[in-house]
Structures are given as structure tokens and as C-alpha cells.
Amino acid sequence: MGESKPAPAPCCSTGQGIICAGLPRSGTLSLATALDILGVGPIQHGLRDTSTREAYAWSHAAWCSFPCLRSRLASRDSKLPFYLPPRYRCTTDVGSMFSEQLISAYPDAKVILVERPVDRWARSYGRVLIDKTYCGIGGFIKCRLGPWADCTTTTAYFDVSMGWLGTFSRREAHHLLPVRHREHYEMDGWGPLCKFLRLPVPDVPFPHVNEEGEFLSMLRGLDSMILSRLAQKLVWSLLAVSAAASLSRPSTRRLVLHALRRTFAI
């Protein structure tokens, strides 16, 4: 008898996915950390993404929301199913902007509707993402200078945030989901989350991470890294130009050739 193939790892494609329909700045990283503790990963989250290819896939999906560009950018209408990379079981943060497509693609997935007062969410999203990440001096550094410093992920997520035209509300979720597949969650501890996922409650405090101050500190560090890389590239470029200019002088060329002959006994 041949050996039986191992069962595939739980993921959205196997009907065991979890879609967290909470927009960025609604506790998405805390929820992702909690799901990690519960052992239901791997989890897609914008701050954890290290693949430029995946970041630009989200960007491409966002631009496909524009009717005038969809026919050229999308191989199919953006209302048709939208699929995650196969290794992910859960998605949150950036993926929430495409909740409608993901729910259509994975009808058996459990969906967690993260609740947060709209006014508080709008203030946080505006201060942290719009003002400090995508606009102003910080936006210029990250989205315009970043690609020159080999930091392209923020540019891709800028496209996601600015190019996203759909609005996913609780009312739409009610139409899309049967009751057994959805849970309204207010980030109020392990109890409701573990009950919905049918998992035991961990013996650790519920994580609360990526608060506004932490995120702003991370953004300042990102700005410093980009400017430092650009400064290094500028110095090397100036040195290269200076060296080329020096070598273009006949006297300098003779001096260099003389030194090479003495060194290598040419």
C-alpha cells in the first residue's frame, strides 16, 4: 500500500480560514497577535509582510477598483473571487479592504467583524496613516524617497489606501454572511473570540500592541532609515563622480598608470 498523503495545512482554501474584517487602526495587530497565541496562523498583516511582490499584489487589486482601469489591469472583474496566497489561514489589516471579495472567494471562512467607535477610528486613521504615513513630509520620505532607498512596501500600501473605493460596512457583511460564520468583536478579551473559534482560552493576558505612540515611533524609525540609506547612496555617488572626473584628467591618468605599473611590475 502506498503511503497516504498528509492532510493539507488549515487555510482559507481548505474551508478553515478566518477573515478579520476590521480596517487598519482598529486593533488589527493586537488581534493578529491573539490569533498567533491561539495557534491559528499563518496570518497576513501589513506590518508583517516582507514580500514586495505580495505588497504590490494588494496595490494591483486596489487599482483594479477603478472602473476606467479595471479592464486593463484585471484579468477578471474585481467583484469576482479574490484569493490569498495559499500559505495564509487568516487575513487582517490590509486584507480587510477587500473583505467583500474574500468572503465571496471563501464562503466557509469565519469572519470576525471588529467593532470600534467610528469617530475614534477616524481620528486614529487620520493622524497615523493619512497625516504621518502617506501625506506631508513623512509621506514624501516614505512614498517618494523610499523606493530610492529600496523601501517600496509603503508605496504599495499607499496605493491600497488611496485607490480603495469600496466601503465594507456591517450591513454589507450581514447580507454576505450566514449568522454562524460571523462574530461581532469589540477587542474585549479572549472570551468571545475563543467561543466563536471554539478554542480554549489561553492562560495569558490578551495582547494590546501597536498603540498609536508605538506606531508613530516605528514611522520615525522608518524615516530615519530611508534618509540614512539615501545619504549613503548620495555619498557613494559623489565619490564615483569625483573619481571619474579625476581620472578624466591626463595628469591623473598618468599617475594612476604609473602606480599600477610599479605595483604589478607591468
pLDDT single digits (tens) 222-257 = 888 888 888 888 887 777 767 766 666 666 666 666
- For residue 230, the model assigns a pLDDT of 85
Q: What domains, with CATH codes, occur in the chain?
A: 12-118+152-164+181-208 (3.40.50.300)
Q: To which H or E segment does residue 76 belong?
A: none
pLDDT single digits (tens) 45-70 = 877 776 777 777 777 777 766 555 55
- For residue 80, the model assigns a pLDDT of 44
Q: Are 155 and 46 in contact (CB under 8 A)?
A: no
Region 179-191 average pLDDT: 65
Residue 264: partners with Cβ closer than 8 Å, 6 or more residues away: none
* Helix/strand/coil (H/E/C) assignment for every residue in 49-75: CCCHHHHHHHHHHHHCCCHHHHHHHCC
Region 66-92 average pLDDT: 61
- For residue 71, the model assigns a pLDDT of 52
3-state secondary structure of 112: strand
Distance CA(6)–CA(85), nearest Å, equals: 20
Distance CA(17)–CA(47), nearest Å, equals: 20
Grid cell listed for 10:
488549515
Q: Kindly report the pTM of this predicted structure.
A: 0.63
- Reported confidence tier of residue 4, pLDDT bands at 50, 70, 90: low
Grid cell listed for 234:
548620495
